[in-house]
Amino acid sequence: MNLVQRVTPAVDTQQPPLLELRVEGKAFGDVPVLGQLALRLQPGEVVSLLGPSGCGKSTLLRLVAQLDRDFDGELRTRPDHVGFIFQEPRLMPWLSVADNIGFSDGRQYDRARVTGLIEEVGLGGFAEALPKQLSGGMAQRVAIARGLYGQPQLLLLDEPFSAVDAFTRFKLQDLLLDLARRHRIALLVVTHDVDEALYLSNRVLVIGNRPGKVCRELHVPLGYPRDRRDELLGRLRNQALEALQGARAI
């Protein structure tokens, strides 16, 4: 008998939130970039920020990572370690795959952990390869492993798959979800890809044009693994597009 396994989302609603951000406003000089918005994340939750280019998504992620503390509002966050994954892999070209993954610990990195991560991201046999020997998708797998190396409870991803082709993107999305479940990590993903946001997330926050505000919150009540052809994803896609149109974002 062929049983389709439905794994319910491992969102832990009993624990206190991992992250609570309240923004009253954020500007660069005279230019307001973010309006009023609130963001809360539970352990294990996957949330996407979906919006047009320039609406302040990366700025919001930088506030969460405390790379930028200059805003009106309040940030409360618990995790000791937050991982950050960017659109481009940002690997050190002179370091091997293994050395890039353990980079945050210098030369004395935990080799067993790095070896385990290389296997987990599907790069077995490439530990000593240099970044120039890798495809774009493989390099982004290294970036994911490097993001996981510090054992974060929260991983922030800024348009992580927008530079790779559609099929590679599907594979990387599945890899990311699999790793997040296994390592019990919450994900905050910035994307301008409606399908990616819905496929990955428990919740999607649709952000309108600058100054960015949450103009719609969509819940995706599906377990994992998901079927990309699920009718519910199609219906939610229409709602997301409607919200983006309503905000004159598209």
- The DSSP code sequence of 222-243 is --BS--TT-HHHHHHHHHHHHH
- Write each residue from 56 to 75 as x if it is in contact with ligand ADP (CB under 6 A), else as -, in one continuous string: xxxx----------------
Q: How far is the CB of 124 from Mg ion (least distance, A)?
A: 32
For ligand ADP, give the closer residue by CB, 17 or 212: 212
Q: How far is the CB of 22 from ligand ADP (least distance, A)?
A: 18
Nearest to 140 by CA among 103, 174, 168: 168
Q: 16, 54, 124, 223: which one contacts ligand ADP (CB under 6 A)?
A: 54
For ligand ADP, give the closer residue by CB, 153 or 201: 201
Q: How far is the CB of 57 from Mg ion (least distance, A)?
A: 5
Confirm or reject binding of residue 191 to ligand ADP (CB under 6 A).
Answer: no
For Mg ion, give the closer residue by CB, 58 or 96: 58
For Mg ion, give the closer residue by CB, 58 or 100: 58
Cis peptide before 160 (omega within 30 of 0): no
d(CA 154, CA 147) in angstroms, rounded, equals 10
Q: 15, 53, 238, 245: which one contacts ligand ADP (CB under 6 A)?
A: 53
Q: How far is the CB of 34 from ligand ADP (least distance, A)?
A: 8
Among Mg ion, ligand ADP, none, the one that 94 touches (CB under a kind-dependent 5 to 8 A) is none
Beta bridge partners of 206: 50, 216
Q: At a CB cut-off of 8 Å and minimum separation 6, what does 46 contact?
A: 9, 177, 180, 186, 187, 189, 200, 201, 202, 203
For ligand ADP, give the closer residue by CB, 98 or 215: 215
Backbone angles phi, psi at 138, to 5 degrees: -65, -40
Percent helix, strand, coil in the chain, to 5, is: 35, 25, 40
Q: How far is the CB of 47 from ligand ADP (least distance, A)?
A: 16
How many residues lie near ligand ADP (CB under 6 A)?
A: 11
Alpha helix (H) residue ranges in the chain: 57-64, 97-101, 111-120, 136-149, 166-183, 194-200, 231-246
Nearest to 77 by CA among 204, 169, 188, 179: 188
Among ligand ADP, Mg ion, none, the one that 59 touches (CB under a kind-dependent 5 to 8 A) is ligand ADP
For ligand ADP, give the closer residue by CB, 33 or 121: 33
Count Cβ atoms below 10 Å from residue 39 Cβ, excluding itself.
Answer: 19
Q: How far is the CB of 38 from ligand ADP (least distance, A)?
A: 18
Interface ranges with Mg ion (CB under 5 A): 58
d(CA 133, CA 96) in angstroms, rounded, equals 10
Beta bridge partners of 118: none
Which residues contact ligand ADP (rule: CB under 6 A)? 28, 33, 51, 53-59, 210
